[in-house]
Amino acid sequence: MSQHFKIVIIGSGPAGFTAALYASRAGLSVAVFEGRQPGGQLTITTEVENYPGYEHGIMGPEMMDIFRKQAQRFGAQCFFEYIEKVDFSERPFKVTSDRDNKVYTADAVIVATGASAKLLGAPGEEHYMGYGVSACATCDGFFFKNQHVYVVGGGDTAMEEANYLTKHAARVTVIHRSEEFRASKIMLERAKSNPKIDFLYNTKVLEYCGEKLPTGVPKLTSLRLQNSKTNEETTVPADGVFVAIGHQPNTYLFNGLLEMDNVGYIQTIGKGTHTNISGVFACGDAQDSVYRQAITAAGSGCMAAIDAERWLEGH
């Protein structure tokens, strides 16, 4: 027999856990399916300094553990399972877990599956992630005051990140694989006119290199690059690298069910979190292609829980 909850939340992170906190505190039975990255993107972030309430900053994984425990305190149940299939054709809705194909049912579903930064996949990228390698300038730029950092990419995201980083870094070098840019003309011109930004054309990152500090923590120190026209390889010192080649929302599970934009971000209706299926709500980076911050994800998780609670009252 399947286990039933008033609300099933697919995904964790700030959006999923905040939704769970609000819904469970409202006296609803709540299940959170944490998926393949419990705690979301913040679990691969080191220090978080821009979330209100943590005066001296907090490590991303610790922060998510606090979020989880706070939701559990009010009765939310967390499952370290991945939802492989959903059935929104009738209520109660059905979700199927990767653990022995177990089926759970719910009166309402909140999608909080987040997004993943696209990465290069070059050697050392994973090892130095959070230790010199980042995919979010607004999250981590502050840690590179008066340093030389690199931005990888050729679209609007890369230009935006490069411009933002000049507020902190002494020098920003944009690495792009060709001489043609996907970035809009205005964004490209803004970056090119910034005296703190340089460009490396026809270049790709072969490897992220670094050392282990006496504390045992890894630290990025250089990049091994290759010119795609001459095949010449060079190694350049680097204090930090920001990979800015876009994000991919983790929403493929809902293809053909929920309305999405051409990238895959779930489209919500009006100012709220309702999707095109009554009783299914979306929050966090799964539907936010603009801000992608912990604080905005948490805010939309709160909205989704309130929307779901009100919807349940009327149904």
Would you list the DSSP string of 203-265?
A: EEEEEEEEEE-TTS-EEEEEEEEEETTT--EEEEE-SEEEE-S-EEES-GGGTTTS-B-SSSP
Binned at pLDDT 50, 70 and 90, residue 1 comes out as low
Confirm whether 239 is a catalytic residue: no
Within 8 A by CB and 6+ apart from 174, the residues are 150, 151, 152, 153, 154, 158, 159, 162, 191, 197, 198, 199, 200
Confirm whether 283 is a catalytic residue: no
Indicate the DSSP class of residue 84. Answer: E
Least trusted range by pLDDT, from 54-58, 69-73, 232-236, 238-242: 54-58
Catalytic residue, candidates 78, 98, 107, 139: 139
pTM, 2 dp = 0.77
So where are the chain's domains?
Answer: 3-116+247-314, 119-243
Task: Return the closest-CA partner of residue 123 out of 36, 39, 210, 5.
Answer: 210
Give Cα separations from 117 to 93, 134, 245, 261, 267 (angstroms).
30, 10, 8, 17, 19
Catalytic residue, candidates 107, 140, 156, 239: 140
Q: Inform me whether the pLDDT recorded for 45 exceeds 80.
A: no
> 247: which strand partners?
117
Q: What's the pLDDT tens digit per position in 234-245?
A: 999 999 999 999
b/e code 104-125 from CB counts within 10 Å (16+ = b):
bbbbbbbbbbbbbbeebebebb
Architecture of domain 3-116+247-314: 3-Layer(bba) Sandwich (3.50)
**Which residue would you say has higher pLDDT here, 117 or 220?**
220
Residues 36, 136: contact at Cβ < 8 Å?
A: no
> Can 3-116+247-314 and 119-243 be said to share one CATH topology?
yes
Structure tokens at 97: 């877990």
**Which residue would you say has higher pLDDT here, 26 or 157?**
26
Q: What's the pLDDT tens digit per position in 203-244?
A: 999 999 999 999 999 999 999 999 999 999 999 999 999 999
Confirm whether 140 is a catalytic residue: yes
Indicate the DSSP class of residue 144. Answer: G
Confidence at residue 43, expressed as pLDDT on a 0 to 100 scale: 67
CATH superfamily of 119-243: FAD/NAD(P)-binding domain (3.50.50.60)
CA distance 126 to 66: 25
The phi and psi torsions of 45 (rounded to 5 degrees) equal -105, 145
The whole-chain average pLDDT of the chain stands at 93
CA distance 238 to 208: 9
Catalytic residue, candidates 87, 100, 107, 136: 136
CA distance 161 to 182: 15
